[in-house]
Amino acid sequence: MARYELTDAQWDRIAYFFPHPTHWAGAGHPWHPHRPLVNGILWHLHTGAPWRDVPAQYGPWQTVYDRFNWWRKVGTWARILTTLLDQLDDVGRISRELWCIDASVIRASRAAAGAENSPPNRVHWAATRRRNSKSQKTMRWDVRGEALAPRFT
């Protein structure tokens, strides 16, 4: 078991938040088991890899992705988080003043740092050559510069 997969005790604490696999009174086909899908979601969040790279042991990547989005929209993740935090608060292991979001991983836009909102002038880059480059014709702006340069026959 990988460190980002849920143990039996952890799964038992959150299993009741997820709907029964035979949802809507048996209409439609039964869902895939929830535990491997949750482990696939945790794998994705742990690695940061694209959804398409979720290992097959967790189920089809589309199902993992769709279930993550569905549970996000209906508030399942928020209910799990608040319940677990409430349980920690009840036993005195955390106080409500310590609940926060780590914003150091949230990337701000260039405009938030004072940069201009307009895109850079592409014509300027097309006419510029990079100094000390041995293979200038392979660089995108150099190829454009060659296309804009006058031709003599």
Q: Is 47 helix (H, G, I), strand (E, B) or coil?
A: helix
The tens-digit pLDDT sequence of the chain (153 residues) is 677 799 999 999 999 888 766 665 666 777 778 999 999 999 999 999 999 999 999 999 999 999 999 999 999 999 998 888 888 888 888 876 666 666 565 566 666 666 666 655 554 444 444 444 444 444 444 444 555 555 555
Instruction: Please count the other Cβ atoms lying within 10 Å of the Cβ belonging to residue 82.
Output: 12
